[in-house]
């Protein structure tokens, strides 16, 4: 007899100082449960309410093996569809059901997807610095632990710290993170000149624009970066301007990645069909979990486009494990962003506790970086990651107003973050 869903419980925790939301599905079979990630750090309380109030009553008593049917049911049950809040709630359930299916089969997720196409997952991590010299120091630290792909930034995506108002801004402007796009573009070109002079072609360099320039600026900016042979340039425009990608792609030779903010297949459909991107970078909980991620990857593969899923600190190790399992089995895998515990290697403290230790207290069997350029899965059934709810409760979530997304231009107008 197929086990049925007995409960759907959200678990909040913030061992790294970032709100994480894990969904635990308990079944009618003793000891059989699954975990999924529903983390949208800036709206986690709303997702928790959605799961408790609407999702759990909808799913109790349903057979756990009908993953695609349950996904579609959750997607259409509210009538209006898509959006990061609904999708993250769906993702938490979807991942948990895949976790359960893997446990029932006694196989890791990648085996259910056809088995391994690769043995390790090549990853990149983020290096930053207040100036290029500090950035070079951080890149050198990554090289010492085997990393061959590094995303390079100078400062916070071309802006100032929150609340800092540069002199050139209009009088009376509101508090925010202020951006001077022209300065950012000039400084970034200079940054890559110095990085290539220092490193040559020994490492692959990447960069994230974070949609903080206009489409017109993006076209010339990508062209200016061509001589520095970037592995890719990320999110040069916002999802609202995805139709510009083909124009930009035709104007430069720098590979483009896009999709951190996608929440609907319509967001990436045209970019893929028109071959305006080289890598799709969906945040898999924001598109609804493992089920839609597999569909997106298969669709992109038909057009020769590879994956590089978004994997920031504001997702749980449960989601990170799902991503690694998917990567192991995808024919069109490209590269993987990795922001596991190692993200904090230059900043190991969060308040009064050690982040690395806290994460391992709350979560067990986390996929680990192998100090050789690759991340490896844990070979346990399902997603393999488990959570200690008592430890998780030691790190409660806060719900303050989000500051870093309050980005503005020098005249005071809002700019997408």
Q: Which residues carry out catalysis?
A: 157, 210
| Residue appearing with tokens 């057009």 | 303
Both tokens of 216, joined, read 């017109």
> What string of DSSP letters covers 221-285?
HHHHHGGG--SEEE-SS-GGGGGGHHHHHHH--S-EEE-TT--SHHHHHHHHHTT--SEE---HH
Both tokens of 225, joined, read 């970066």
* Integer CA distances (angstroms), 50 to 77, 169, 387, 389, 399, in order: 12, 41, 21, 20, 16
Q: Please, which residues bridge with residue 208 across strands?
A: 234
Give the number of other Cβ atoms within 10 Å of residue 2's Cβ.
12
**118-127 burial, b if ≥16 CB within 10 A, otherwise e?**
eebbbbbbbb
Secondary structure of residue 338 in the 3-state scheme: coil
Pair 161, 151: CB distance under 8 Å: no
């Amino acid at each position: 007899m197929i086990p049925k869903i007995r409960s759907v419980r959200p678990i909040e925790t913030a061992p790294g100082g970032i709100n994480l939301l894990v969904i635990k599905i308990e079944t009618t079979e003793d000891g059989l449960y699954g975990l999924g990630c529903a983390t949208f750090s800036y709206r986690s309380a709303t997702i928790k309410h959605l799961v408790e109030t609407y999702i759990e009553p909808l799913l109790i008593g349903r057979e756990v093996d009908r993953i695609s049917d349950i996904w579609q049911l959750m997607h259409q049950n509210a009538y209006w569809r898509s959006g990061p809040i609904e999708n993250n709630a769906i993702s938490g359930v979807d991942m948990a059901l895949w976790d359960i299916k893997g446990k029932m089969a006694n196989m890791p997720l990648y085996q259910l997807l056809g088995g391994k196409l690769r043995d390790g997952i090549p990853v990149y991590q983020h290096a930053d610095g207040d100036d290029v010299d500090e950035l070079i120091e951080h890149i050198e630290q990554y090289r010492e632990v085997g990393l061959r792909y590094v995303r390079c930034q100078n400062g916070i995506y071309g802006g100032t710290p929150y609340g800092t108002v540069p002199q050139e801004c209009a009088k009376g402007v509101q508090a925010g993170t202020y951006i001077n796009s022209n300065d950012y573009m000039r400084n970034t070109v200079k940054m890559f000149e110095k990085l290539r002079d220092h490193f040559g072609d020994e490492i692959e360099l990447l960069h994230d624009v974070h949609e903080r320039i206009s489409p017109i600026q993006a076209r010339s900016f990508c062209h200016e970066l061509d001589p520095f042979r970037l592995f890719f340039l990320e999110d040069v425009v916002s999802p609202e301007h995805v139709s510009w990608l083909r124009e930009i792609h035709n104007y430069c030779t720098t590979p483009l990645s896009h999709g951190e903010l996608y929440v609907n297949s319509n967001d990436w459909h045209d970019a893929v069909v028109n071959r305006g991107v080289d890598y799709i970078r969906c945040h898999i909980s924001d598109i609804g979990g493992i089920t839609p991620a597999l569909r997106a990857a298969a669709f992109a593969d038909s057009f020769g486009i590879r994956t590089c899923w978004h994997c920031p600190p504001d997702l749980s190790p449960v989601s990170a494990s799902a991503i690694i399992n998917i990567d192991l089995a995808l024919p069109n895998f490209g590269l993987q962003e990795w922001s596991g515990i190692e993200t904090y290697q230059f900043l190991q403290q969060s308040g009064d506790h050690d982040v690395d230790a806290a994460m391992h207290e709350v979560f067990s069997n986390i996929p680990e970086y192998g100090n050789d350029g690759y991340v490896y899965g844990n070979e346990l059934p399902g997603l393999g990651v488990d959570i200690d709810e008592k430890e998780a409760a030691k790190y409660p979530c806060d719900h303050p107003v989000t500051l870093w997304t309050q980005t503005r231009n020098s005249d005071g107008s809002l700019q997408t973050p």
